[in-house]
A and B are shown apart, each in its own frame.
Chain A
Amino acid sequence: MFTDSWNLMNTSLKKSQWTTAHGRLPSAFRLLPSALCLVPSAFRLLPSAFCLLLSGCAGVQSSLDPAGPQADHIARIWWLMLFILSAIFVIVMALLALATWRRRASADNETELILKPEAGGESRMSTLVTTGVVITVFVLFILLISSFLTGRSLHSLAASNPQPLTIDITGQQWWWQVKYENDMPSQMVTTANEIHIPVGRIVQFKLKSNDVIHSFWVPNLHGKTDLIPGHVAATWIRADRPGIYRGQCAEFCGHQHAHMAFTVVVETEEQFKHWYDAQLLAAAQPANTQLARGQQVFMTSTCIMCHRIQGTDAGGAVGPDLTHVASRLTIAAGTLANTRDNLANWILDSQAIKPGNRMPPNPLNTEDLSALLDYLQSLK
């Protein structure tokens, strides 16, 4: 079912960033300490060569396909560590192979032999072992420093803009509430499982949880940050490349941990403004009797107990806000593409799709269901 959702999004949005293999890989280790800049330039090509080998690092949920500075910093230290540590691994394995092979016993029955360590050989070996340990310490020191510097770069984003776009994320079993902060309550937007951000703008996420621990993670943009009940965590990102990225809960949170995803839509400032203004509006009033019937079904069935539709009597806060549900790409926290069929199946028996989720089955008759679907799909 997931395939459908992403394919559908692909065709409907005609945005190619997330299916075509994106070649923009870590261009260099520009920000790493000067010592590391001595690394020959050929070294820069290695990541792309490696990615080619592994059929590409690109993807909508890949930490190796960074779309912003945070993920980029981390991808760089990944490549640095990968190359240094792989080299060490190869050297140690070569030493081991040589040590094993050079004086191997000719027959299996040489257990009678007992070699006596000689003073000269032993002291030569202790020099070599000591050298090995010194090199190890030196390499660890380089990795330690570069890790600290990367950490500092990650935090510099937070300091660089005192007034970022601030979005409150609340983790729930098993969906995400998204709330755009604003000084004016009338300018605040509440939505679910889909985050729109303008390209190039620094965004601060304030993360909290209403129930158990979740973890907020969009691999293409940044590493993860836990949402811990009783604490408010924060993380800063900036997306430099428009596109659609997938995020997913990364801390085991119960039954449907596997289906607690969300979408990040990175768009131009104008597109974002347009989207934001649309989200600020109250829900569309039913324009005909069919839609009015749909609204009535919503208001008289179990829907109203958990969901909110701004501008109507529905004010539930247990499930996602549905004011503009039709504008979203997915339903059920990134589980299904937002199509009429999927919506119908979800309303009738969401337990078959996402067992254990909090929404009860709604055995509506065909007419009621059809009206309800018409109504929900009108909530653009």
Chain B
Amino acid sequence: MSQSMSQTDQSAHAGKLTAANEAIERRVLEQTWGDKPGLWGALTSINHKTIGKRFIVTAFAFFILGGILSLLMRIQLARPENHFLGPDLYNQIFTMHGTTMMFLFAVPIMEAMAVYLVPLMVGTRSIAFPRLNAFGYWIYVFGGIMIYVAFVLNVGPDAGWFAYVPLAGPQYSPGKRVDFWAQLITFTEVSALVVATELITTIFKLRAPGMSLNRIPLYVWSVLVMAFMVFFAMPTIALASTSLILDRLVSTHFFNPAEGGDPILWQHLFWFFGHPEVYIIFIPATGFVSSIIPTFVRRPVFGYTALVLSLISTGFIGFGLWVHHMFAAGLPRMGESFFTAATMMVVIPSGIQIFCWIATIWAGRPIFKTPFLFALGFFFVFILGGMTGVMQASVPLDLQVHDTYFVVAHFHYVLIGGAVFPIFGAFYYWFPKFTGRMLSEAMGKLNFWLMFVGFNLAFFPMHYLGLKGMPRRVYTYPALAGWASLNLLATAGGVLLALGVLTFIVNVFVSRRRGALAGDNPWNAATLEWATTSPPPSYNFFRLPTVAGRDTLWVQPEDQPVIVGLRTDVRQVLVTKMLDAEPDHIEEFPKPTIWPLLTALAATGLFIASIFTPWAVVWGSIPVGIALIGWFWPKEKQKDERPPEEVKENVAKQDDAYLEEVA
């Protein structure tokens, strides 16, 4: 009896020691990976979750701004011959709305979610190139601030988010308005490219051992495809917007027909970027759907391989469709036919995805939580948008509906259905992971229904308006055209949609304080981000996981091994091989630093000043150079700012204190 008692005592003591050791180790990890305290810590942070959260909140703030702009437009269009907004302001507003939603919300929010989630989902401590990640955020937020300051000062762009030349050229858009637009593109493309670099590297090189390519979660696959698309699409718009600003500032004549330039060239360059852009937004959203559906129908997704191949083929075909934005420009018929066929072809991978998801639901046991509702809403809205997309692939039909409200309806069905509904689903799904608390289900359902009904009321009538001859981008319309009542309906729907978004904001503010505690894995989901605490610690995982199967947490045996041997007092991550994720080597990651912020500030100075004088490119590059030198100044390997002895002493002290406490 007494012997067994003492054994119990011993094991209890050992358990206490282990717990004590773990607590100490966690504290050391926190010291190593955590942000510094205070304002300085906030400015120097390079933690992917800190940056990711900021990125998400910022992108959402731009979504709200873009939404307010759209409400202003809907008020103006609610009545014929309305005088609420004049043409000058209306044209700025619709340009700002499109620019905001595409460049400051849709692409950034997809990147932001990926910056937060991908390192957790692949089971590593950090995103690759964390300093670059901080730079990517700063440059994006500075660009966004610049364009809104310009807008408030009445130098907001007014040539449309597509900035067709010659209208956007120096002759027909004098002043600085379009220059600000072109520079905003520079900001956002730099941000998108650096984030894409980090995401590709993270996915290829930082996956947990065992997560071979065929075990990567579908969301991570979708981010990979998105990042590659960013790689190939963004350089085109970089070229285009740089040529435009050169035309405007130093009188090059890339697009000036009078000097041998060609306005059609701009359209090709813009849409060679612009169409893939739609898929850059849509593909990660399919990743959200692929994450939400299995969790809420309680079974692995059906047709994993087919879904992955669909994503990849969409990524390729997405680059072969751009001319369908230019059918009315009168290109040769043979070429147009090719793009009709390509546009219809892109339906096939989307169809495969939709059928696979429906099969997954069919064989599953659906639970009607808010994220799942948003996924169902996605099906309804996105498929409708896809149908009208097929219609517009037809050159003859497109000649009628092109640049009418039919197209406005179509792409809002595709983008709100294909991206905004999934992103709201994703917010509900991952909010517990981000904050540790659940969003309210009741408010979530209200949110969904307001958005769903409001959206369809606002945008469905626009199909008919377009067929009845209402062109896009008009600041007003004649009363007799018979468009008034449907426009009023659309405005009412817009208000409902806005109320839905407002419900979400209220839900976030209430639930952040009072929501139910989430625990590690409130949905009992399968992917690795749910294997750590909510919210995750700065170092993501106490013990880096290994992966035994595709739906990791559902198939993991109890005694699945973890990774040991990484130092806790230095930012070490495990680099694995690209295909099979076998451990390769240990890499030391950089520490928090102010240089990414300073570099972003210097680059911002250069970009903005160059709008006013070409000499800014010369003088402005000096601060950028200095900042980059500071950033890349070589450091001695493994030399902590605090001497290791001090760290150890510190740890030992804490160790003793804890043991005393336990005793």
- Which chain A residues numbered 200 to 252 have a C-beta less than 8 Å away from chain B? 211-213, 215, 217, 219, 222-226, 228-231, 233-234, 246, 248-252
Cross-interface CB contact of B362 among A5, A64, A125, cutoff 8 Å: A125
Per-residue 0/1 for A129-140: is the Cβ within 8 Å of any B Cβ (1 yes, 0 no)? 100110011001
CB–CB B263/A230 < 8 A: yes
Residues of B within 8 A of A255 (CB): 87-88, 91
CB–CB B328/A96 < 8 A: no
Residues of B within 8 A of A98 (CB): 362
CB–CB B358/A96 < 8 A: yes
Q: Is B166 an interface position by the 8 A CB rule? A: yes
Q: Provided the pairs A81-B391, A92-B383, A126-B303 are in contact, do residues A223 and B396 lie with their beta carbons within 8 angstroms?
A: yes
Residues of B within 8 A of A133 (CB): 348, 351-352, 355
- Which chain A residues numbered 96 to 125 have a C-beta less than 8 Å away from chain B? 96, 98-100, 102-105, 108, 110-117, 121-122, 125
Cα distance, A147 to B390, chains bound together (Å)? 11
Residues of A within 8 A of B257 (CB): 229-231
CB–CB A2/B355 < 8 A: no
CB–CB A143/B394 < 8 A: yes
Cross-interface CB contact of A226 among B330, B344, B390, B481, cutoff 8 Å: B330
Cα distance, A5 to B480, chains bound together (Å)? 9
Cα distance, A112 to B524, chains bound together (Å)? 7
Task: Tell me the minimal C-beta distance from B406 to chain A in angstroms.
Answer: 9
CB–CB A121/B363 < 8 A: yes
Q: Is B269 an interface position by the 8 A CB rule? A: no
Residues of B within 8 A of A114 (CB): 298-299, 524, 554
Task: Tell me the minimal C-beta distance from B77 to chain A in angstroms.
Answer: 10
Cross-interface CB contact of B469 among A125, A222, A248, A258, cutoff 8 Å: A248
Cα distance, A140 to B393, chains bound together (Å)? 11
- Which chain B residues numbered 371 to 407 have a C-beta less than 8 Å away from chain A? 376, 379-380, 383-384, 387, 390-391, 393-404
CB–CB B523/A111 < 8 A: yes
Task: Tell me the minimal C-beta distance from A113 to chain B in angstroms.
Answer: 5
CB–CB B263/A229 < 8 A: yes
Q: Is A155 an interface position by the 8 A CB rule? A: yes
* Beta-carbon nearest neighbor of A97 in chain B: B376
Task: Tell me the minimal C-beta distance from A93 to chain B in angstroms.
Answer: 7
CB–CB B352/A129 < 8 A: yes
Interface residues on A, range: 35 or more
Residues of A within 8 A of B298 (CB): 105, 110-111, 113-115
Q: Is A275 an interface position by the 8 A CB rule? A: no
CB–CB A115/B81 < 8 A: no
CB–CB A143/B344 < 8 A: yes
Q: Provided the pairs A63-B467, A133-B348 are in contact, do residues A2 and B394 lie with their beta carbons within 8 angstroms?
A: no
CB–CB A111/B524 < 8 A: yes
Cα distance, A233 to B327, chains bound together (Å)? 12
- Which chain A residues numbered 45 to 76 have a C-beta less than 8 Å away from chain B? 54, 57, 59, 61-64, 71, 73-74
Residues of B within 8 A of A189 (CB): none
Q: Provided the pairs A133-B355, A155-B333, A251-B403 are in contact, do residues A62 and B376 lie with their beta carbons within 8 angstroms?
A: no
Cα distance, A254 to B523, chains bound together (Å)? 51
Residues of A within 8 A of B13 (CB): none
CB–CB B87/A96 < 8 A: no
Cross-interface CB contact of B400 among A57, A99, A223, A231, cutoff 8 Å: A223
Residues of A within 8 A of B91 (CB): 254-255
* Beta-carbon nearest neighbor of B259 in chain A: A230
* Beta-carbon nearest neighbor of B406 in chain A: A63
Residues of A within 8 A of B472 (CB): 250, 252
CB–CB A125/B302 < 8 A: yes
Q: Is B249 an interface position by the 8 A CB rule? A: no
CB–CB A104/B366 < 8 A: yes
CB–CB B397/A249 < 8 A: no
Cα distance, A191 to B174, chains bound together (Å)? 30
Task: Tell me the minimal C-beta distance from B403 to chain A in angstroms.
Answer: 4
CB–CB B263/A100 < 8 A: no
Cross-interface CB contact of A110 among B258, B365, B477, B479, cutoff 8 Å: B365
Cross-interface CB contact of B88 among A122, A225, A356, cutoff 8 Å: A356
Cα distance, A93 to B361, chains bound together (Å)? 13
* Beta-carbon nearest neighbor of A92 in chain B: B383
CB–CB A211/B172 < 8 A: yes
Q: Is A128 an interface position by the 8 A CB rule? A: yes
CB–CB A257/B348 < 8 A: no
CB–CB B387/A148 < 8 A: no
Cα distance, A256 to B358, chains bound together (Å)? 47
Cα distance, A379 to B50, chains bound together (Å)? 73
Cα distance, A314 to B86, chains bound together (Å)? 33
Q: Is B557 an interface position by the 8 A CB rule? A: no
Task: Tell me the minimal C-beta distance from A250 to chain B in angstroms.
Answer: 4
Residues of B within 8 A of A222 (CB): 399
Interface residues on B, range: 35 or more
Cα distance, A115 to B361, chains bound together (Å)? 12
Q: Is B474 an interface position by the 8 A CB rule? A: yes
Task: Tell me the minimal C-beta distance from B84 to chain A in angstroms.
Answer: 14
Q: Is B494 an interface position by the 8 A CB rule? A: no
* Beta-carbon nearest neighbor of B523 in chain A: A111
Cα distance, A136 to B352, chains bound together (Å)? 9
Cα distance, A123 to B468, chains bound together (Å)? 47
Cα distance, A261 to B614, chains bound together (Å)? 40
Among B380, B396, B469: residue with most chain A CB under 10 A: B396
Q: Is A278 an interface position by the 8 A CB rule? A: no
Task: Tell me the minimal C-beta distance from B485 to chain A in angstroms.
Answer: 9
Q: Is A272 an interface position by the 8 A CB rule? A: no
CB–CB B166/A229 < 8 A: yes
CB–CB A85/B329 < 8 A: no
* Beta-carbon nearest neighbor of A88 in chain B: B387
CB–CB B172/A250 < 8 A: no
Among B86, B160, B474: residue with most chain A CB under 10 A: B474
Task: Tell me the minimal C-beta distance from A157 to chain B in angstroms.
Answer: 12
CB–CB B354/A92 < 8 A: yes
- Which chain B residues numbered 611 to 629 have a C-beta less than 8 Å away from chain A? none
CB–CB B397/A7 < 8 A: no
CB–CB A63/B469 < 8 A: yes
Q: Provided the pairs A111-B524, A252-B160 are in contact, do residues A105 and B365 lie with their beta carbons within 8 angstroms?
A: yes
Residues of B within 8 A of A95 (CB): 358, 362
- Which chain B residues numbered 335 to 357 have a C-beta less than 8 Å away from chain A? 336-337, 340-341, 344-345, 347-348, 351-352, 354-356
Cross-interface CB contact of A213 among B263, B351, B477, B481, cutoff 8 Å: B263
Q: Is B278 an interface position by the 8 A CB rule? A: no
Cross-interface CB contact of A228 among B264, B395, B524, cutoff 8 Å: B264
Q: Is B300 an interface position by the 8 A CB rule? A: yes
* Beta-carbon nearest neighbor of A248 in chain B: B471
* Beta-carbon nearest neighbor of B521 in chain A: A111
Cross-interface CB contact of A59 among B297, B299, B482, cutoff 8 Å: B482
CB–CB B394/A150 < 8 A: yes
Cross-interface CB contact of B366 among A105, A117, A121, cutoff 8 Å: A105
Q: Is B475 an interface position by the 8 A CB rule? A: yes
CB–CB B363/A125 < 8 A: yes
Task: Tell me the minimal C-beta distance from A16 to chain B in angstroms.
Answer: 15
Task: Tell me the minimal C-beta distance from B553 to chain A in angstroms.
Answer: 10
Of all A-B residue pairs in the complex, the 10 with the closest CB atoms, nearest first, are: A223-B399, A230-B257, A2-B478, A61-B469, A258-B474, A147-B394, A115-B299, A99-B362, A212-B167, A111-B524
Given pairs A136-B347, A223-B328, A224-B402, 8 additional interface contacts (CB within 8 A) = A1-B81, A5-B478, A105-B365, A140-B344, A223-B400, A225-B328, A230-B257, A231-B330
Q: List 26 interface pairs A-B (beta carbons < 8 Å), by A numbering.
A: A1-B81, A57-B467, A64-B467, A77-B397, A78-B467, A89-B387, A92-B383, A96-B379, A105-B366, A105-B368, A110-B365, A111-B367, A115-B298, A129-B306, A144-B344, A147-B394, A147-B396, A150-B397, A154-B396, A211-B166, A212-B167, A215-B328, A223-B399, A231-B330, A257-B474, A258-B474
